Amino acid sequence: MIEHIKCLIIGSGPAGYTAAVYAARANMNPVLYTGQQPGGQLTTTTEVENYPGYPGGITGPEMMEDFRKQAQRFGTQVRYEMVTKVDFSGPVHKAWAESGHEIHANSVIIATGASAKWLGLPSEQKLMNKGVSACAVCDGFFFRGKSVAVVGGGDTAAEEATYLAKLCPEVHLLVRRDELRASKIMQERVFKTSNVIVHWNTEVLEVLGENDVNGLRIINNQTNSESVLPVQGFFVAIGHKPNTDAFKGWLDMDEAGYIKTIPGTTKTNIEGVFASGDAQDKIYRQAITAAGTGCMAALDAERYLAAKEIEEMAEA
C-alpha cells in the first residue's frame, strides 16, 4: 500500500523537529521518521547552556523530548523507523521505510544529521561497549572512579573530557597535533580542569584488553616513541560523518558527503527536496543553527507547495 502525504521529514533532532513544528502549523500534515537515533546527536550531550530560552540550562535528551512533544502537539506523525531508500526522479518524491512501507511525498525535508567517526582500529571495534565508547554522557557513569582517555582535538573532545573529569580521577586527552581545534571557551575549560591531562602529538595504535579495556598503546608522532597508557575507558571524539548515504546519486554533495544547498535557502538540486541541520552544515553544527535551518526548510517547503498549487489551478 502506498501512502500519499504533503510533507515527509527524514530525521529528528533540532532540525527535524523544528521543521515539523512549522510544517504542522502550516497544515502540511508532516510525517517524521526519526531514524536510528531519535532526537539526534543532542541526546548524547550533557548540559546545554547556549540555547536561548533555557536560562538554567537543560540536558540534551530533555530538550529533544520538549521538541518532540511540541511537534506532536500540532499534529506531526512521529514514526520510530529509518528511511532506507529514496527515488527523487519524478515530481512526486518516493521513499521507503525499513519496514518496506512506501511513501509518496509532495515535499521532503532531510534532517538526518551526522554520526560519530571511529579510528578504525580492529581493537577499537573488538572492545566496543566493553570500555570503548563515543558518548561520555551515555557511558561515563560506568567509569566513575576510573582513569579514562579521550581522543580528539575539537569541541566534542573537549566537552567529553571536561564531563568525564567530574566522574573520573584522571582524564587523558590525546591530541594528534600540538594544539586544540576546539573553541577558545572549550580550550579554557580543558586547561582549567586540573585532572585533565593533555598529551600533545599523540596517536592511538591499539586499544588493549580482552573482555574490557585496560590500556592504550600510544605513539608520540614527533619522537616515534611508543608507550602504554593504563586506562579503563576510551572515548572516541574525532568528528562526525553526515548521514546522507541514502541520498547519494540523487542530491549534490561535497567530498565529505554533506548535502549542498542553494546559498540562503535549504533548497537542493532536486525541486521539492530540502536539506537542514548537520546533514548540510559542516561549519557551525550547533543545535540552534540546526533548528534555524529546520525552520527555513519548512518555510521553503510551504512556499514550494503553495506555488505548485497555484500552477495546478492555472492549468486546470
Active-site choice (7, 66, 87, 139): 139
Selecting among 87, 138, 212, 254, the annotated active-site residue is: 138
Is 212 one of the catalytic residues? Answer: no
Q: Could you confirm whether 138 is annotated as catalytic?
A: yes
168 is catalytic: no
Which residues on adjacent β-strands are paired with residue 185? none
47 is written with which cell numbers? Answer: 548540559
Closest Cα partner for 206 from 130, 119, 123, 150? 123
CB < 8 Å & 24+ apart, contacts of 230-233: 230/147, 231/146, 231/147, 231/148, 231/149, 231/170, 231/172, 232/131, 232/143, 232/146, 232/147, 232/148, 233/131, 233/132, 233/133, 233/139, 233/142, 233/143, 233/146, 233/147, 233/148, 233/149, 233/164, 233/168
Catalytic entry in 7, 66, 87, 135: 135
The closest alpha carbon to 40, from 281, 254, 278, 295, belongs to 278
Question: In whole angstroms, what is the distance from residue 133 CA to residue 87 CA?
Answer: 35
Catalytic site residues?
135, 138-139
